[in-house]
Amino acid sequence: MEYETPLFFHVMQYADRADRDVIDMVSGNPDWEPPQALRDGLREYADLEPDQFQYPPSEGLLELREEIAARRGVDAEQVVITNGAGEANYLAMARALERDRGDEIILTDPVYPYYPGKTTMLGGTQRFVAADDEGRLDPADVREAASEETAAIVVNSPNNPTGAVYPEETIRELVAIAEEYDAILVSDEVYDHFDLSGEFSSALEFDSDHRIVTNAYSKSMAITGVRVGYAIFPPHLVENAKSRHMLVNVATTRPGQYAVLEALRETDPDYYEENRDLLRKRVATFTDALDAAGAEYTTPKGSFYVMARFDGYPGTLENVKRLIDEAGVAGMPGEAFGDSRTEWLRFALVTPRVEEAAERLAAYFD
Amino acid sequence: MEYETPLFFHVMQYADRADRDVIDMVSGNPDWEPPQALRDGLREYADLEPDQFQYPPSEGLLELREEIAARRGVDAEQVVITNGAGEANYLAMARALERDRGDEIILTDPVYPYYPGKTTMLGGTQRFVAADDEGRLDPADVREAASEETAAIVVNSPNNPTGAVYPEETIRELVAIAEEYDAILVSDEVYDHFDLSGEFSSALEFDSDHRIVTNAYSKSMAITGVRVGYAIFPPHLVENAKSRHMLVNVATTRPGQYAVLEALRETDPDYYEENRDLLRKRVATFTDALDAAGAEYTTPKGSFYVMARFDGYPGTLENVKRLIDEAGVAGMPGEAFGDSRTEWLRFALVTPRVEEAAERLAAYFD
């Protein structure tokens, strides 16, 4: 069995090995500071008694689950602490498929490539629904694609790679469609702290037995490598998800959970606001330079990414490598995100050098 | 789909909630100190630049993989850093099953209960081969059980729960059987640093395309909660395992990997020897007291566990709870480890209070 392995690590490796200075805009790795309290939490943890180095409860440290539950308005029993949003989405999709209500997973095109990869690995099949040019999803298209074969609808808002933010009506409709077809809406909200539009709506706002919400601290706390996330399940779906989590990972790393709890408690809202401001400035800088370069692009309403199109330069892996070698800018090939974006490239705004990158692109495509 | 969720966390929770002082001998959580360099590594990590808080390579930090490869005499490309031995075993068993050479997993009875649980979750079926009273496995019995349906043979030496250590001839034979039947030997060696007999033999000593070795730092460094382990695959099996690891977990926690690397480099062999000595003393103390109590038991040659049998007191979950409430000693029910040990209880020697525990048991069964 071959899975469709996401290309991110492959492209990053290629960029790392390049013979020249490359501006890395490949992956959603924040380049800004984690919260001070996160660092403090790790330091504190290092001095704890030996018993604190041992297995936490499999579903996560109770205090962390309670903190999350209080913030999200759910019961702590519904919360499973995971190895990042990656495991959270894996558990959610597996949980939907093992209900035996069908083996189809509805995904968007463009799509975050881990979703189709997980689908194949879990024995499901993908059914893609096209988003529009701005990345917006029309629930009517999802309803048309839904059937008795639908196990889950997996969406991501704020969206990677399009930067779209789904409005409340879209999320409400997606929950309704999941209910109609006895399917599960999996709402991956890992970029919720990077809503630049004010229009973000969490699926938790719509109480339902048919939605699972996934999230992580990877982006909001700039700690993609620490691997702490969570999934919130409806009460009747949570037990099997906890079993799978236990059988796959036993538990999520405890120093990470400890430090995240500390950071959740001690970090001021300013921290998140400052990072959003930084991102807003980068979006403006990068898109201004893209304008100057005559490129087509989407202005993100959220998340970290700008998709851009340069005339006569399709978004293939080959072209991405050429851009690394010849322009010194590393992005992701649009073809990695689905058939609808094969002409496009995705650039992650996670470097202070966005202006320089845009200038390099402008010079290269001049 | 219902998995067979291991009972460990359930029993630990019951013991935690008991109204009296309980000596915890449930789970394999070391109560001794992690290496000093492990703590130092976490502290150092807390001060690193933001880029060090981001995704490590999916298969693990290169320096850690190289360090492991050098110690184990394999190529770094064969090493995947995992979320503990739990994920390592999950990847190994999944890799064996997806070869489509059969869906049977040969396991021992008694068995570490995560293995049958993982088997069910992965869509395989269990076939049990009985170990003898001391936990020894006769390869002839494994060969008799093997067939074209065999996807994998999963063994654990030093063994949990029996304390058996398989000699070189056994491991050699198991590798040969895996080769004969085009199956995979999965050798879980997480207790390798707790061989008290000097008879431990790693499956890596027998070069083969048909064996996967799993391990972790959870026991050897007394850090079950940090979640860093690894699996070593034959070259032709490793790519799909890396894909699954990426699709399930993206990567393994980076502060943990960093601290483990530091501890691997800086920890003196004395650290491990002292922990073995501690365990040897506890085995002697506990078994002496069991003798005094007239109990039957096995003296472990490795790992952390003593299995004991008290007349007229079968190893049921109900009896384990009674022992918690009435004697103040928490163990694991033998029935959790398979049909052959339903009369037995398992006690983990991970408390300085082993003598007191044995005295409580003696008094209770008097």
pLDDT score, position B12? 85
**Among A176, A198, A225, CA closest to A42:** A225
User: Which of the four pLDDT bands, split at 50, 70 and 90, describes residue A1?
Assistant: very low
Beta-bridge mates of residue A213: A187, A232
Tens of pLDDT, residue by residue over A283-312, are 999 999 899 888 999 999 999 999 999 999
Domains and CATH numbers, chain A: 8-34+269-365 (3.90.1150.10), 55-266 (3.40.640.10)
A300-354 tens-digit pLDDT: 999 999 999 999 999 999 999 999 999 999 999 999 999 999 999 999 999 999 9
Residue B65: pLDDT above 50? yes
Check A86 against B225: CB less than 8 A apart.
no
> Does the structure show a pLDDT above 80 at B4?
no
Complex confidence, ipTM: 0.96
The per-residue pLDDT for B312 is 92
Chain length of chain B: 366
Q: Given an 8 Å threshold on Cβ–Cβ distance, is B55 in contact with A226?
A: no
Find chain A residues with C-beta within 8 A of B190's C-beta.
none
Provide, as residue numbers in chain A, all residues whose Cβ is less than 8 Å from the Cβ of B246.
Answer: 5-6, 9, 117
Instruction: Check residue A79 and give its pLDDT.
Output: 98
Burial (CB count <10 Å: 0-12, 13-18, 19+), residue A316: middle
The per-residue b/e assignment along B193-206, b for 16 or more CB within 10 angstroms, e otherwise, is bbbbeebbbbbbeb
Q: Please compute the mean of the pLDDT values over residues B203-217 and round it to a whole number.
A: 97
Look at residue B348 and tell me whether its pLDDT is greater than 70: yes
Are β-strands B184-188 and B211-216 bridged in parallel, bridged antiparallel, or unpaired? parallel
Arithmetic mean of pLDDT over chain A? 95
Q: Is B20 on the interface with A (CB under 8 A)?
A: no
CA angle A246, A250, A252 (to 5 degrees): 110
pLDDT score, position B9: 78
**Contacts A9 to B, Cβ<8 Å:** 57-58, 246
High-pLDDT (> 70) share of chain B, %:
99
* A36 has a chain B CB within 8 A of its CB: no
A250 contact residues in B (CB cutoff 8 A): 83-84, 86-87, 114, 227
The pLDDT tens digits for B255-285 are 999 999 999 999 999 999 999 999 999 999 9
Residue of B nearest to A253 (CA): B226
pLDDT tens-digit readout, B99-155? 999 999 999 999 999 999 999 999 999 999 999 999 999 999 999 999 999 999 999
The rounded distance, in Å, linking the Cα atoms of A81 and A92 is 12
Check whether A98 has a pLDDT greater than 80.
yes
B253: which chain A residues are within 8 Å (Cβ-Cβ)? 83, 225-227, 253, 255-256
**pLDDT given at position A13:** 85
Of the pLDDT bands very low, low, confident and very high (cuts 50, 70, 90), residue B1 is very low
* Segment B197-206, tens digit of pLDDT: 999 999 999 9
Nearest residue of chain B to residue A248 (CA atoms): B87
Q: Residue A205: exposed, middle, or buried by beta-carbon count in 10 A (0-12, 13-18, 19+)?
A: exposed
Closest Cβ–Cβ partner in A118, A240, A249 for B1? A240
Cα(A291)–Cα(A279) distance, integer angstroms? 18
B360 to chain A, closest Cα gap in Å: 23
Q: Is A60 on the interface with B (CB under 8 A)?
A: no
pLDDT, residue B3, reads 57
